[in-house]
Structure 1
Amino acid sequence: MLEVELKVPAEHDSVKRELQQREAIRRGELTQKDRYYNAPHRDFAQTDEALRIRTERPTDDSPSQQVATTTYLTYKGAKLEESSKTRPEHEIKVDSEESLVQIIESLGFEIAAAVIKHREVYEIEQFEITLDNVEEVGEFIEIECEIKSEENVEAASSKIREFASGLGIDPTTHLRESYLEMKLRNDN
């Protein structure tokens, strides 16, 4: 599966109003803590890869949100193209955060950094829109969709840029940098 994503720094209020006018489905609010690990045999910063343990917990009373904290292990491959953050992504849900951390760290992976974000999630058409407030980094909007083949990357990127423009977002201000990269840059 490939994730095609556009991320821009943006003020949330005007985008929320536009999403409400378009009758986007609000999926809820949650807090995500992402712990990024580096491999003992290669530097993910050099290879543009990421290994992440994410824990997320709902922060509102939305009926669509799960009650308990959920944990995921995600691997992200190198970005494939310049106009978006398209990259291969593989993710599994795990039952035990503690056991997962012990396995990863026992294999020699070391934590590189943690990123905490407060996220409001919407869905409309084939897009997931997230309004992110990332601690120590800032406010962003992400628009993404998933595709099955690299052949569809440019078409999906074009649809995302067009959708962003319709929300009043300038897609030319997109960022390819991850929240992890921004946080590490800010920490230095």
Structure 2
Amino acid sequence: MEIEVKFKVDNLGDLENRLKELGAVFKGTEIEEDIYYQHPCRDFRLTDEALRLRRTPKAYELTYKGPRAPGKLKAREEIVVEVKDFVKADILLRKLGFRKIAVVKKTRRKYILGNREICLDEVEGLGEFIEVELLVEKSLSEAEKELLDFAKKLGISGEPITKSYLELLLERRT
């Protein structure tokens, strides 16, 4: 189960400085390109599922994301499979009837602090965001408290965003 919280932010530089002050370990910067697909027989928007093919400089992954659990966090089943050939994986999905619906491109700077992975994202067409994911299994209520407390510690206020980058991008198009 993936459990994370996401916020839209105004200045990633300030957040990055705060993370360093707290002792977060920088793990690197990657450019990610995510292709999202629509199932040929069911509408993923209605079932709250997603199928994504991700390309980074280091790896290719095919990811299924199940429906979200209710609440302030993004909590959902996630199944990730490593892919050796990005182009062939895309062709395979299209041959099976999956239709490409959007591409999300972002620059992601990753940090680790304790049991959290922190991603500072610059998303093309959407702006700057922070995502914090717990790297350990906890109950949803424990995870929500820990992640929201951590956001306050970073000086982040406001309500978390539960929509995916895909949903935000599709909303902007309409």
| Partner of residue 103 from structure 2, selected from 89, 114, 120 | 114
Partner in structure 2 of residue 153 of structure 1: 140
Shift of 1:173: 2.1
Which residue is 1:124 aligned to? 113
Corresponding residue of 2:154: 167
Once the two structures are aligned, what percentage of the paired residues are identical?
A: 35
Matches within 5 A, 1:1-188: 2-10=1-9, 11-57=11-57, 69-148=58-137, 152-170=139-157, 172-188=158-174
Equivalents in 2 of 1:99, 1:176: separation in Å?
32
Structure 1 unaligned blocks of 5 or more: 58-68
Q: Distance in 1 between matches of 2:162 and 2:145?
A: 16
Deviation at 1:146, TM superposition (A): 4.0
Please tell me whether the aligned partners of residues 147 and 153 of structure 1 are also in contact (alpha carbons under 8 angstroms). Answer: no
Q: Deviations over 1:63-86 (max 9, x none)?
A: xxxxxx410000000110221111
**What is the DSSP-based 3-state SS (H/G/I as helix, E as strand, rest coil) of the residue aligned with 2:108?**
strand
Deviation at 1:97, TM superposition (A): 0.6
Alpha carbons 1:51, 1:75 under 8 Å: kept: yes
- Using the TM superposition, give the Cα deviation of residue 34 of structure 1 relative to its aligned residue in structure 2, in angstroms: 0.3
The residue aligned with 1:60 is none
Code of the aligned partner of 1:24:
A
Residue pair 1:71, 1:93 contacting (<8 A) in 2 also: yes
User: Is the CA contact (8 Å cut-off) linking 2:115 and 2:136 kept in structure 1?
Assistant: no
* Distance in 1, Cα, partners of 2:47 & 2:16: 36
Q: Does structure 2 conserve the Cα–Cα contact (< 8 Å) formed by 1:9 and 1:173?
A: no
Deviations 1:117-174 (A, max 9, x none): 011000001100000000011100001114547xx1111121111111111112x421
Q: After TM superposition, where is structure 1 displaced by more than 2 Å over at least 4 residues in a row?
A: 146-149
Distance (whole Å) between structure 1 residues aligned to residue 154 and residue 52 of structure 2: 30
CA distance in 1, matches of 2:147, 2:38: 31
- What is the SS of the residue equivalent to 2:15? helix
Change over 3 Å in CA distance of 1:177–1:36 after alignment to 2: same
Q: What number of residue pairs does the alignment pair up?
A: 173
Q: What is the deviation of 1:23?
A: 1.3
Deviation at 1:36, TM superposition (A): 0.2
8 Å CA contact retained: 1:71, 1:96: yes
State how far apart, in whole Å, the 1-side matches of 2:134 and 2:42 are.
29
TM-score by length of 1: 0.89
Q: Deviations over 1:72-107 (max 9, x none)?
A: 000000110221111110101111111211211111
Question: Per the alignment, in what secondary structure is the counterpart of residue 160 of structure 1?
Answer: helix
How far the C-alpha of 1:16 sits from its partner, in A, is: 0.7
